[in-house]
């Protein structure tokens, strides 16, 4: 925060004042405190970040402010003031007028926030119509403008599409457009950039800053990403196990943090460029939250099998989605989601797929698993083309290849306990008895940083990060040879992310596991990968050894991805957070479009770049 901004903040009454906030949940007939005596102010035009691990009380704090917790099982105490109004004593009817109008919120998991039965255009328009006298035609035009503002390609045509047709990052952009629709006084952003690639993340942060400059909007930014905190926040509140352990100017928090937990958080942050000189993946330092001390990171053993046949080979994989329009619903075009993608993966190797949301990373992973049937190509698992397998044979193959999905809540059955969810594949594949499955569940929960007694709980009782850990435990229970990890650690805070990745590296070493690691987090990709493939508009534009790609990027798009990574240092904050990336082109092509043949040049051993 500049000295001018500090002076301005000091002259104005806070937009939001939270004093002595304590929130408890009713558990087994007793009140369990989740947030304990939290106090902070948010002034006009100011960004305050709340940072901490999953389960620390960050999201519960925001839900308490919005009064979105269930009344009969939650208790909120203290004071929450919006200007001169006390929100905790406000009648529900008046509070409803404030939500989405004066206070808007961007939630952590977009798929659970969007109604799958309505188009995204109708859902954003509804927010506009509820809080203004706008006509339907004007609401449609404003919705299209908002979609363009958050860089959704072909906004006019995508107005009428449903949430399931969007990638995770695209769905989060829709949520951001909806929140910005009413130009609120206070924007509460609960992990708004977690599902976004680095370039879109930078653009969304720019968008929030622009809104602040134009409208004087205040922002309460909830995140576990210390790089984002360094880039955008003026002041920072650090939470640990429901308590506020440190508060101060963001610059001071990073330069001279006083609490051991704050130092532990900062020590666990992966920094792009820190892998120079290392040829193999590097374990994350495990930090003691009590002391803030960490051990020196250790380079893993050489696990890649360079002799045997690759455990996974993908050849010419292609997937297109047809678009129908007009009165007769005629074929008008195709989304070229995956276009002639080829790579191989060996035992003990991690190949990372990186790129912007909507580039085809997740569709590639789903096509490999045949959750989305590819149009053409081959997927060979241990030499066998799985695209030719029948239903029963494919079921057996899924013991060999498992997938960790991007959205943890959508991939867990809300009616099953997490113990039953983890045990289900183990029992279905007849790997042991029900009693054996209980032991496996307990072991897997402990390995991903949870406790065995949590097996009796349901998914809604966990935070977003904890749910992702449960999904990872479920995939590991079958001890597969290949794991397709689709943004598997993007929802995790830095210290748990470090623990889970170290676990994956340990399992890779002990079980010769191969990982197809799909991610937008370039700093993590640099840390865990043996090789890296960069995807753009459904195609691989650069692929090679991790050290070669990161230290000598050849394709313009690869360079732009790396330049957009936020730096966990407020002294290196950029005026514009997102580097110039140009317009994000659309993967939609005319129905008669002829795909040109892609040629590659080898710039160094095994390092190829598209021409």
Non-local CB neighbours of 210 within 8 Å, separated by 6+ positions: none
Per-residue model confidence (pLDDT) at position 7: 47
Dig out the tokens for 482 from the structure: 């290949």
Position 327 pLDDT exceeds 80: no
Closest alpha carbon to 400 in 294, 330, 311, 522: 311
pLDDT tens digit sequence for 257-278: 999 888 878 877 888 888 888 8
Per-residue model confidence (pLDDT) at position 575: 55
The pTM of the full predicted model, rounded to 2 decimals, is: 0.77
DSSP 360: S
Q: How far is residue 362's CA from residue 484's CA, in Å, rounded to a whole number?
A: 10
The answer to whether the beta carbons of residues 516 and 365 sit under 8 Å apart is yes
pLDDT tens digit sequence for 459-486: 999 877 788 889 988 988 888 999 999 9
Per-residue model confidence (pLDDT) at position 579: 41
Cα torsion angle, 326, 170, 515, 419, sign: negative
Position 590 pLDDT exceeds 70: yes
Position 34 pLDDT exceeds 60: yes
Position 74 pLDDT exceeds 80: yes
Work out the pLDDT band at 574, boundaries 50, 70, 90: low
The answer to whether the beta carbons of residues 48 and 237 sit under 8 Å apart is yes
Stretch 101-117: mean pLDDT, rounded?
A: 85
Q: How far is residue 609's CA from residue 605's CA, in Å, rounded to a whole number?
A: 12
The answer to whether the beta carbons of residues 52 and 41 sit under 8 Å apart is no
Q: How far is residue 465's CA from residue 493's CA, in Å, rounded to a whole number?
A: 7
Position 593 pLDDT exceeds 80: yes
Work out the pLDDT band at 487, boundaries 50, 70, 90: confident
Per-residue model confidence (pLDDT) at position 577: 47
The average confidence (pLDDT) of the chain is 87
Surface-to-core class of residue 577, CB atoms within 10 Å of its CB (0-12 exposed, 13-18 middle, 19+ buried): buried
> How many CA within 13 A on the CB side of residue 574?
17
The answer to whether the beta carbons of residues 281 and 299 sit under 8 Å apart is yes
Surface-to-core class of residue 94, CB atoms within 10 Å of its CB (0-12 exposed, 13-18 middle, 19+ buried): exposed
Per-residue model confidence (pLDDT) at position 84: 92
Per-residue model confidence (pLDDT) at position 358: 80
Percentage of the chain lying above the pLDDT 90 cut:
50
Dig out the tokens for 409 from the structure: 């809540």
Q: What is the dihedral of CA 415, 421, 425, 426, to 10 degrees?
A: -130
Closest alpha carbon to 402 in 467, 345, 511, 482: 482
Work out the pLDDT band at 578, boundaries 50, 70, 90: very low
The answer to whether the beta carbons of residues 281 and 529 sit under 8 Å apart is yes
Position 108 pLDDT exceeds 80: no
Position 176 pLDDT exceeds 90: no
Q: How far is residue 611's CA from residue 609's CA, in Å, rounded to a whole number?
A: 6
Position 535 pLDDT exceeds 70: yes
pLDDT tens digit sequence for 343-368: 999 999 999 999 887 889 999 999 99
Closest alpha carbon to 398 in 489, 479, 304: 479
Q: How far is residue 281's CA from residue 506's CA, in Å, rounded to a whole number?
A: 11
Domains annotated on the chain, with CATH:
1-102+184-198+210-258 (3.40.50.300), 111-183 (no CATH), 312-564+581-610 (3.40.50.300)
Position 604 pLDDT exceeds 60: yes
H or E element at residue 206: helix 198-215
Non-local CB neighbours of 435 within 8 Å, separated by 6+ positions: none
């Amino acid at each position: 925060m500049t000295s001018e901004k500090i002076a301005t903040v000091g002259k104005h009454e806070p937009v939001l004042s939270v004093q002595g906030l304590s929130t408890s949940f009713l558990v087994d007939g007793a009140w369990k405190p989740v947030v304990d005596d939290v106090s902070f102010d948010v002034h006009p035009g100011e960004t305050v970040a709340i940072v901490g691990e999953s389960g620390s009380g960050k999201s519960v704090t925001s839900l308490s402010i919005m009064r979105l917790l269930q009344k009969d099982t939650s208790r909120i105490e203290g004071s929450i003031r919006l200007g001169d109004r006390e929100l905790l004593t406000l009648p529900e009817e008046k509070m409803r007028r404030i939500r989405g109008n004066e206070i808007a919120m961007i939630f952590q998991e977009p798929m659970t926030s969007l109604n799958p039965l309505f188009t995204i255009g109708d859902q954003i328009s509804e927010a506009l119509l509820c809080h203004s006298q706008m006509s339907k035609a004007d609401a449609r035009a404003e919705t299209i403008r908002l979609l363009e503002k958050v860089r959704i390609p072909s906004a006019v045509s995508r107005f009428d599409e449903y949430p399931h047709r969007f990638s995770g990052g695209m769905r989060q952009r829709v949520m951001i457009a909806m929140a910005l629709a009413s130009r609120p006084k206070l924007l509460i952003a609960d992990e708004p950039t977690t599902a976004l690639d680095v370039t879109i993340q930078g653009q969304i942060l720019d968008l929030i800053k622009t809104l602040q400059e134009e409208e004087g909007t205040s922002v309460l930014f909830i995140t576990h990403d210390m790089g984002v905190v360094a880039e955008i926040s003026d002041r920072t509140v650090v939470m640990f196990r429901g308590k506020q352990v440190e508060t101060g100017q963001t610059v001071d928090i990073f330069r001279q943090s006083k609490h051991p937990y704050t130092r532990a958080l900062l020590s666990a942050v992966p920094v792009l460029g820190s892998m120079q000189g290392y040829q193999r993946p590097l374990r994350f330092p495990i930090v003691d939250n009590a002391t803030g001390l960490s051990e020196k990171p250790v380079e893993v053993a050489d696990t890649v099998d360079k002799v045997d046949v690759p455990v996974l080979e993908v050849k010419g994989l292609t997937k297109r989605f047809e678009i129908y329009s007009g009165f007769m619903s005629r074929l008008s075009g195709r989304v070229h989601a995956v276009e002639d993608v080829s790579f191989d993966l060996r035992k003990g190797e991690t190949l990372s797929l990186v790129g912007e949301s909507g580039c085809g990373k997740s569709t590639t992973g789903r096509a490999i698993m045949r959750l989305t049937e590819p149009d053409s190509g081959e997927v060979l698992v241990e030499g066998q083309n799985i695209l030719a397998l029948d239903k029963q044979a494919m079921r057996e193959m899924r013991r060999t290849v498992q997938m960790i999905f991007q959205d943890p809540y959508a991939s867990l059955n809300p009616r099953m306990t997490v113990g039953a969810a983890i045990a289900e594949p183990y029992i279905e594949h007849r790997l042991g008895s029900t009693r054996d499955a209980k032991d496996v569940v307990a072991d897997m929960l402990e390995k991903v940083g949870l406790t065995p007694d949590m097996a009796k709980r349901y998914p809604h009782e966990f935070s977003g990060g904890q749910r992702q850990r449960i999904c990872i435990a479920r995939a590991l229970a079958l001890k597969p040879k290949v794991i397709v990890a689709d943004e598997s650690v993007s929802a995790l805070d830095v210290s748990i992310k470090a623990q889970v990745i170290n676990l994956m590296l340990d399992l890779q070493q002990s079980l010769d596991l191969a990982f197809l690691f799909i991610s937008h987090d370039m700093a993590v990709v640099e840390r865990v990968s043996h090789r890296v493939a960069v995807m753009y508009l459904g195609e691989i534009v650069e692929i090679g050894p991790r050290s070669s790609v990161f230290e000598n990027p050849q394709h313009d798009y690869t360079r732009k991805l790396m330049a957009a990574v936020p730096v966990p240092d407020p002294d290196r904050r950029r005026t514009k957070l997102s580097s110039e990336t140009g317009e994000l082109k659309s993967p939609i092509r005319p129905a008669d479009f002829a795909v040109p043949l892609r040629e590659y040049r080898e710039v160094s051993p095994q390092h190829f770049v598209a021409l």
